[in-house]
Every structure is written in structure tokens, then in C-alpha cells.
Amino acid sequence: MQGTANRLRWQGAAGHYEVYYLTFTDRGSGCGAWIRYTMLAPQDTEQEPSCALWFAAMDPSDPAARVARMQCRPISELKSTADPFELQIGDSVLSQTGARGGFEDLAWDLRWTPSQGEYSHVDAVLERAHLAQTILRLPQADLEIEGTLQWGDRRLELAGARGGQAHLWGSKHARRWCWMHASDLERLSGEQRPGSWVDAVSVYLERFGRELGPSTPVLGRIGESEIESTGPVAVLANPSRIALTGWSFTARGGHDKLVVEVDAPREQLVGVTYHDPDGELAYCYHTDVASVRVRLLRRDTPIARWSEVETLVGERRAQFEYAQREPVPGIELLVT
């Protein structure tokens, strides 16, 4: 059943959070956007669960005009159906074919054709053993999005927007992490490569008072080559270096290897605050106008040398997030 990855997991228990997010960059205007539908059930049962709508937008030609806001709602406004999938928070809706909604002077009315396939960053063995505090699924890896956005006095008709939609849930965020998505890639010659995409996360966890990591699951499709580097051994073996304004990582899958570099200028980052069910805070710095370079390499045997198959880039058309447990000095938190 298409849409299983988007099924709401919360069943009323305390100590749970759940997030549906849509990220994309509009080729016509250069603007990026980030829309979230979320819920939080605090670990403290004396605190009421809640749901929320989030909206962020940024224009690389005017970094100071970036916006990010969140509106919290009573949990009674959260409704969901599994087949066909649809999630509602008040009048705002997310489905397999679009998203619409808004609050205050923010609004979105978006539509797309569902992408093929659903992916998971967490190995099924780890998920069944309840060893992961957060599960990340990718129901819509490669979307071509049409419609309109509005924030303040600006109304944007999308022209060539591409991105993805994901779903995560669990009991606690990682200690720190980087995440990226890119599905508007082109060759160095400028030829577009529709159908090619990369989605990855690199996390550091706290266990027994120590920080462990990174653990780096990577998913992607470059031309006809699919990369799924998410096994327990692979995610620990994938080299990864994360930072506030960039990330470099390598992932292997079969005879292929991806080498990825992400650049996210500081002035394009939107700062927001996440709340864990136990009350701890995480500080997230996000942009939808990052740049990415993806190299696909291949070798036929384990002892052969790697040869480059293709290099793809996305200049200011990738999505990126860095988060840690302390706020970064000098970057305003637009959502607290």
C-alpha cells in the first residue's frame, strides 16, 4: 500500500513526538521553503499533548527577509487517516498528492504527483529491536511541486520547484545531527537530471554519558543507480564530517559509492527550537537554498580502483539542517 510510511504512529501515549515535513526549492524564483506538521506528547503526563504548524521561507537574494514561524494548536485538531493517507491540523492538510494550509499571514497551496517508492533510513532490525530513539522514513523522495506560497505581502507562484516529503517519529532527537536532501540536480554542463536525488542524515547519540557517532544512513538515486547505505555496519563505516555551514560524507552501496559535499552559508540559515518529550531542547539551523556536489563512483570488484561515473550539482537548490543541544551564538532563533 503506497502511503504506509506516512501512517501516523502516535496512539495516545506520553513521551512521543512526530513530524511530517516538506522541503523544496523553487528554480524560478530561487526561494526555498520548509513546511512542517507536528505533534508532541510530553513525557510528563500532567502536560497536555499538542500539535503545531510550522512555516519557513528564504530568498538567497535577500537573506534578511527570511521567515520562520510556528503556531501551536490543541491536540484535538490533529486528525489522520491511513488509506488513503491524509493528515489534518485544523484546516491545514497534508496528503500523498499535496499540502494546503496556513496561519496568520502565511499560506500554502501545493500539489504534486506522488513519487515512486518509500524508503527508510533506519534498518528494520534496529527498528524492531527498539534501538533507535527516532525513526526517519522518506515516503516522497523526488517531488515536482506546483502551487503557491504566501508570506507577508509576498505571493509566490512556483515554477520548477523540486523537493521531498519525509516523516519521523520517536521519543527523543539525537544529540546533534546534519541532514540534507537534494532532488534538483544537474550535470556540470547544466543538463538537468530529473529522477536523481540524495537524502541523508548523520547523527551523534548520547549513551551512558558519552557521545557516540556519527551514524550516517544515506539513500539516493543517480540515473539508474540506486544507493541504499542504511545497514548497521554501513552507517557506522560511512565517513562523515558535519558542521554548522556544511557537511561532507561518503556512502557505499554495492559497486557504487557516493561522495557528497554540502555548502550552507551562515546568512541563509533559519534558527528554530525543537522540544523533546522529556523537555530537553535542540537548536536547529535550516536552509532550503544550500548548494551540493554529488559524485558517483563505481568499481566492478573489491580490489579494483574507483572510477568516476558522473558528477552532479545543485547550486542553491539543496536542503540542509544542522542541530545541536546549545544555541549557536549570533544566529537568531526565529522559533523558540
The pLDDT tens digits for 46-90 are: 999 999 999 999 999 999 899 999 999 999 999 999 999 999 999
Q: What is the mean pLDDT of residues 189-206?
A: 96
pLDDT of residue 2: 53
Answer whether residue 335 is part of any domain: no
Which residues span the domain enclosing 148? 4-327
Q: pLDDT tens, 78-123? A: 999 999 999 999 999 999 999 999 999 999 999 999 998 999 999 9
Answer whether residue 334 is part of any domain: no
Answer whether residue 332 is part of any domain: no
Start-to-end Cα distance in the chain: 38
Contacts of 12 (CB under 8 A, 6+ apart): 41
Answer whether residue 267 is part of any domain: yes
Q: What is the mean pLDDT of residues 214-238?
A: 96
Answer whether residue 336 is part of any domain: no
Q: pLDDT tens, 128-146? A: 877 789 999 999 999 999 9
Mapping DSSP to helix (H, G, I), strand (E, B) and coil, where does residue 124 land? Answer: helix
Give the H or E element holding residue 125.
Answer: helix 124-128
**What percentage of the chain's residues is helix, strand, coil (to nearest 5)?**
5, 60, 35
pLDDT of residue 195: 95
Taking alpha carbons only, the member of 6, 4, 102, 19 closest to residue 282 is 19
pLDDT of residue 100: 98
**Dihedral of CA 120/116/200/148: which sign?**
negative
Number of domains in the chain: 1
Give Cα separations from 300 to 59, 206, 225, 335 (angstroms): 43, 38, 14, 49
Give the H or E element holding residue 41.
Answer: strand 32-41
Answer whether residue 333 is part of any domain: no
pLDDT of residue 1: 40
Answer whether residue 223 is part of any domain: yes
Q: pLDDT tens, 241-257? A: 999 999 999 999 989 99
Identify the CATH number of the domain in which residue 172 sits. Answer: 2.40.370.10
For 259, other C-beta atoms within 10 Å of its C-beta total 17
Answer whether residue 101 is part of any domain: yes
